Amino acid sequence: MKRSIAIFTMSAMLLSSYMTMQAPASAAASTTTAISSSIAKGHIVGGVNLRNKPSLSSGKIIGFLKKGTNVAILDKSNKYYYKVKTSGGHTGYVSKSSKYIKLSSNSSQSKPGQGSEVSSSLTEKINLVIKTGKKYLGTPYEFGSDRSTTYTFDCSDFVKQAYKEALGIVLPADSRKQGDWIKEQGTAVYNIGSLKAGDLVFFMSYKGSSASAYAGVDKSSEKITHVAIYLGNGQLLHTYSNKSGGVRIDTLSKSWEHRFLFGGSVLK
C-alpha cells in the first residue's frame, strides 16, 4: 500500500511540474502571436482604397478607408504598400504614401540610421535605371510592342523595361495606369522645374508645335498619351515613333514642354 501511495504521489508531482513548465511557454506563444500580428499602428490621413493585393495594376479594390481611420499594420509587404487590418476585421493593402497614411509616433518605418543609407543609394539606383534605358538607344518603336521581348518598344513598355531590368520594379503596363500609379504614390509634380532625374514624365496628345495650339487647354481633363524618363538638365529618354529613330534622347522643350501634364518619382 505504501508503495502505491508513493507512486501516486510521484505521478502527481510530475504532472504538476509539467503543467507549471508548460504555462509560461503558452503565454510566450500568445505574446509572440500578438506582436507579429500587428507590427505597427497607422492613421489614415487621406481617403485611400483598400486592395486585395499590393499592386495598383492587379490589386482589386475591396473597400475604402476614410480619413481618420485607425488601422493595424500587419506587414510592410513591399516598397509601396502596407498590409493592414481595420477595427472591423477587414484585411487588405493600402499605399504607403504619406499622403494617405502615417505611422503612430511609437512606430518606426525604418531602422536607426537607415534613412541616410536610403538617401545615399537613391542616386545609384536612378543612375542604374538611366544606364539600363540608354542601353536600348536606337531600339525600334512598335505600338503595342510584345512585353516579353526587348526587340521593340512603345513608350510605356520602354520605361517599364528600364525599371524592371535595373531594379526589379514592375510598373503598370500602359502609360495611363503608370500615371495613376505615380499619383497614388504621392510623388506627382506639376511643374517642370520640380522634376528630378529618374522621374516618369507624362504628356497629352500633340496639338501643334506652338504654345498657341495649347492655349485654353484644360490639362486636368487631358488623357495621358505618352511617357518618358527624365534624365535631368531638361532631357528626356523615351521612344515614340520609328521615324524618330526609336529609343532616343530629346530635350524637354517646344511641343514636349507644351504637352507636359505631370511627372513623378518611382523611388522614394
Q: Give the Cα separation of 102 and 57 in Å (integer).
A: 23
Identify whether the C-beta of residue 43 lies closer than 8 Å to the C-beta of residue 94.
Answer: no
pLDDT averaged over consecutive 10-residue blocks of the chain (268 residues)? Answer: 45 39 36 42 88 85 89 79 87 88 59 38 93 97 95 98 95 96 93 95 96 94 97 96 96 95 94
Identify whether the C-beta of residue 254 lies closer than 8 Å to the C-beta of residue 264.
Answer: no
The pLDDT tens digits for 112-135 are 333 333 345 889 999 999 999 999
Identify whether the C-beta of residue 256 lies closer than 8 Å to the C-beta of residue 250.
Answer: yes
The set of long-range contacts for 63-72, using a CB threshold of 8 Å and a minimum separation of 24, is 63/90, 63/92, 65/94, 68/43, 68/44, 69/43, 69/44, 70/41, 70/42, 70/43, 70/44, 71/41, 71/42, 71/43, 71/44, 71/101, 72/37, 72/38, 72/40, 72/41, 72/42
Q: Give me the pLDDT at residue 79, please.
A: 74
Q: Give me the pLDDT at residue 249, please.
A: 97
Q: Give the Cα separation of 109 and 177 in Å (integer).
A: 27
Closest C-alpha to 238, from 123, 126, 139: 139
Identify whether the C-beta of residue 206 lies closer than 8 Å to the C-beta of residue 232.
Answer: no
Has domain 114-264 been given CATH number 3.90.1720.10?
Answer: yes
pTM of the model: 0.58
Q: Give me the pLDDT at residue 57, please.
A: 78
The pLDDT tens digits for 51-72 are 898 888 788 889 889 888 998 8
Q: Give me the pLDDT at residue 228, please.
A: 98
Q: Give me the pLDDT at residue 238, please.
A: 98
Q: Give the Cα separation of 13 and 15 in Å (integer).
A: 5
Q: Give the Cα separation of 156 and 250 in Å (integer).
A: 16
SS3 content of the chain, % helix, strand, coil (to 5): 35, 25, 40
Q: Report the b/e string of 221-232 with b at 16+ CB within 10 A.
A: ebebbbbbbbbe
Q: Where are the domains of the chain?
A: 40-103, 114-264
Q: For residue 139, which amino acid is it?
A: T
Report the CATH number of the 40-103 domain.
2.30.30.40
Closest C-alpha to 226, from 267, 186, 263: 263
